[in-house]
Amino acid sequence: MPTIKINDVEMSVNPGTLVLDACRSLGIDIPHYCYHPALSPVATCRMCLVDIKGQPKLATSCTTTVPPAPKDNPNAVVMEVFTNTPAVADARAGVMEFLLINHPLDCPICDQAGECKLQDYSYAYGSGDSRMAEVKRRYRYEDLGAKIVIDKNRCIHCTRCVRFTREISGGGELTVANRGSRLEVTTFTGKSMDQNPYAGNVVDLCPVGALTSRDFRFRKRVWYLKSVPSISRHSALGSPIWIDHEGNQIHRFRPRPLPGKETTHFISDEERYAYPRYNRSGKAPLPTLKGAPASLDAIREALQAAGPVAVIGQGTFGCDAAQRLGDLATSEGLRYGSGDKTIPIVLPKYQTSADGILNRRGFSERGFRFGALEELLGKVQSGEVKAVVLLHDAAFSSVRESELLGQLLGASTFSLALEVEASPLGRAATAWLPIASFAEESDFIVNHDGELRRYQKALQAPKGVRTVPTWAKDLIAVPAAV
């Protein structure tokens, strides 16, 4: 491995490593706008300039790579980089001044305020003064379809969004039009971002708040939000996401890139805009038995008196839930899996399976058999199984599967449904228990690629609503003798 020196600190890196990455691995922040690890390098913003010994001009660290060590002297220092020279400081201040020439001072109403790279770098590397006496260029904001709004006054022309639509999502809806001070990012005539199922990512990519999400625009100041690491339930892989929440309400889902995993930089719009369904409104649901509010003791008694119990677990819940639910079955052979939603594959690199049941593997590993509900129906109809416990989310079952589950509940002597909100299927069960949503509990899944992914509790569940493991433990418990 070649040796390089950064600000007089020696380190060994693989040949071909970007100087910017090498600096960051030493904890040295290199300001940058156009660079993004998942996009092609263009070196247009000039913010990442560094001093390299022996080179007459400053170099862009986002495109300069570490050369291999000479064969005859493998221990030689192949490159000396300085990020703290007066020339670098001057360059950064100069670039900031140019970038701010036309940028409006609308931070108080800008959605990006608080997570804006222009604000951060201006504060850290800018000059603090403006010599701009001329009138700034002005555009009105524009809708790029129903999901995305562009405010071109704020754009610094880093082209991350344009490269995303060309290199990642492939639709090429965005382009750079005009030249010089009239340069603007826009859509090709007649195109909008609506046809792009990954459009929301351009909002995350935009470092300065020029591209905003219609559903988040002017809704929340980001410094009030708390971010909790979680996963998306609406993908085959359980994409890592941040749940940004405040006041026990989720305000947005954002991708949570994992180190070294390029495919975790982006999420689909289906995943991104799924958050409202995890916000509760109205009163907390109550446990019911035969349609009337009931105590846990009454439900437990009815379940324990019913006879042999089979469980049906939908593979969209966590592994801990699967394990505890499985304990309710009279025997290991009576654990059945459900859930048959599919998600069309749009970007194969980012979605390796069309199966919309993200924890199918985790449930299978805990003895749940998928595709065997017909077999269970036969056992219920023959009287071999008397009671059925169903862990369910209606959004992940097709009409056909819902009908089959309905038949199962109808044929059993006793049925118990565990759901976040009561579905028609849940209401048809003999008993019903309210469970915490995935945003209200911590658990983990094993995705289709065999990766274990954890998620953490972001919201507080209403009083009386419990996690599946807690309900299962209480349903198994033997009531204390009076």
Binding site for ligand FES (CB under 6 A): 32-35, 43-48, 60, 62
- For 270, the token pair is 């289906």
**Nearest residue (CB) to ligand SF4, 102 versus 447:** 102
Kind of pairing, strands 414-419 and 387-391? parallel
32 makes contact, choosing from ligand SF4, ligand FES, none, with CB < 5 to 8 Å by partner type, with ligand FES
Nearer to ligand FES, 31 or 255 (CB): 31
Nearer to ligand SF4, 159 or 169 (CB): 159
Q: How far is the CB of 165 from ligand SF4 (least distance, A)?
A: 10
Partner whose binding site includes residue 211, from ligand SF4, ligand FES, none (CB under 5 to 8 Å by kind): ligand SF4
Indicate the residue among 213 and 316 with the shorter CB distance to ligand SF4.
213
- Residue 159 binds: one of ligand SF4, ligand FES, none (C-beta under 5 to 8 A by kind): ligand SF4
Minimum distance between the CB of residue 13 and ligand SF4, rounded to whole angstroms? 29
Contacted entry of ligand FES, ligand SF4, none for residue 62, CB cut-off 5 to 8 Å set by kind: ligand FES
Binding site for ligand SF4 (CB under 6 A): 155-161, 185, 205-206, 208, 210-211
Per the document, the length of the chain is: 482
* CA 444 to the chain's CA centroid: 15
> Six-digit token pair at 343?
């998600």
Contacts (Cβ under 8 Å, ≥6 apart) of 458:
226, 228, 230, 243, 245, 250, 439, 440
Give the span between the Cα atoms of 443 and 238, in whole angstroms: 12
**Is there a contact between 361 and 353 (Cβ–Cβ < 8 Å)?**
no
Min separation Cβ 178 and ligand FES, Å: 21
Angle at 94 between CA 205 and CA 133, to 5 degrees: 100
| Shortest spacing between CB 160 and ligand FES, in angstroms | 10
Nearer CB in complex with ligand SF4: 159/430: 159
What is the closest distance, in whole angstroms, from the C-beta atom of residue 41 to ligand FES in the complex?
A: 7
Which one of ligand FES, ligand SF4, none is in contact with 102 (Cβ closer than 5 to 8 A by kind)? Answer: none
- Here the tokens at position 12 are 């060994």
DSSP states along 179-225: -GGG-EEEEPTT--GGG-TTTTHHHHH-SSSSEEETTTTTT--GGG-
By C-beta, is 60 or 353 nearer to ligand FES?
60
* Extended beta strands in 357-471, E state: 387-391, 414-419, 431-434, 443-446, 452-455
Query: Tokens 């986002």 label which residue?
Result: 62
Q: In terms of CB distance, is 205 or 465 closer to ligand SF4?
A: 205
DSSP 168: I
Least distance (Å) from ligand SF4 to the CB of residue 211?
5
* CA dihedral sign of residues 375, 380, 386, 387: positive
For residue 461, the partner it binds in ligand FES, ligand SF4, none, with Cβ less than 5 to 8 A by kind, is: none
Q: State the binding partner of 161 from ligand SF4, ligand FES, none, CB within 5 to 8 A by kind.
A: ligand SF4
Nearest approach, Cβ of 206 to ligand FES (angstroms)? 14
